[in-house]
A = this chain, B = another copy of it.
């Protein structure tokens, strides 16, 4: 399917095998030539797969600039390993070459002793920028922004602007969107390099800049910021403080990472797992256990209530044992219909397709879907019970009344499940909880209990048994 993928992965796999040979045979310059042809992200992948003892040497074989590029693409524990082998001057060089936001990302993952060493060797300018970003709360716009951007003044000409970009741009993560600020650093406008290229040299920045700017505040949630990128197709978005002063920008590549991380987090929560940003293969069995067991315990305990409902209808069950065999089907169908709805709503909430104000509309829609689904399932089940179970398997306990009890339970269960599945996530969002928790496992537990109560109530009523 994907030739290039296969190719790149093959090259990396081959190198994992051959790099030790190159090193043991001291064929450093050959290895250097091979690596220099590769993309930094791929070299990062290679380093993650190589035995740890080769990493410091492989890193030193790389040309300096490429080495720093690679540094951004390796995991925190690999970074830490390399830093521990760096001399002070090597460390200083790497930090000088990294973008501020990448340095901050790194610092956030390092133990205190390493952080101290990094800050000690950062230039004082860099240290100020690092601390600026570090002071913002986790997962806020401030914490994912970079403070390195091109700023222009409104009385510059296009020619001045190009000069400024040429002079300062080499250290900036992006030069393509430039921001125009006044003497108090208030954001006045923005201009893209495309605008500059399409304009004439003597034109004033104030004449060509866009003044209706969409910006975010330092305290805005990173997921909200990332969603602005999918909505508006920005390359970068400016971040301002409470006084509307420009303090940084978030670039699209960081926004893409945030989107991926937030989605993974949502998916994990929906499957009753405590989220983590560590890749699966890097997690120990014990760590995975820690992320999964709390929810399993909570859900197991909740499921015992369902058991208690069954116990309390023991009499009904012992006179109509056949009722027991339909419990799994009722529970599973209830769980599945509920989780279809909850997952759809959770995803729509996170994409911004649905908001709390749509609740009545959503409930009415789900009610109609529930009727359609419930009736279809009940009809299919009614036919199946009376043909397969009664006629084919010859189970004479299964009367038309039993089939009626099961099928009407099914309809009511589906209605309850869809109702709970759409309201719980929206209410959770409204009161500031994460709707993703209100997914399949949680809703299944509630729907199980409700469907069993409905089942036994209908059964005792129509089958004339004492509840």
A residues sitting closer than 8 Å to B (CB atoms) are: 1-5, 8, 37-39, 41, 162, 165-166, 169-170, 175-176, 193-194, 197-198, 212, 214-217, 219-221, 224, 229-233, 235, 252-253, 255-257, 259-260, 263-264, 267-268, 270-273, 279-281, 283, 285-286, 288-289, 292-293, 295-297, 299-301, 303-304, 306-308, 310-311, 314, 317-318, 321-322, 324-329, 331-333, 335-337, 339-340, 342-345, 347-348, 351, 353-354, 358, 361-362, 365, 368-369, 372-373, 376-377, 380-381, 384, 388, 395, 440-441, 444-445, 448, 452
Contact = CB atoms under 8 A, between A and B. Distances in A.
Nearest to A213: B39
Contacts of A214: 4, 8, 39
Could you say which of A176, A279, A445 has the most chain B C-beta atoms within 10 Å of its C-beta?
Answer: A176
Given A281-B348, A292-B337, 6 more contacts: A38-B212, A264-B347, A285-B372, A296-B373, A307-B326, A440-B440
B329 A260 contact: no
Given A259-B260, A300-B380, A440-B271, A324 B317 contact: yes
Main secondary structure of the interface of A (DSSP, over half): helix
Given A2-B216, A332-B300, A358-B281, A339 B376 contact: no
A1 B259 CA distance: 18
Contacts of A263: 263
A217 B301 contact: no
Contact of A376 (B221, B256, B297): B297
B194 A280 contact: no
A409 to B, nearest CB: 13
Contacts of A38: 212
Contacts of A293: 372-373, 376-377
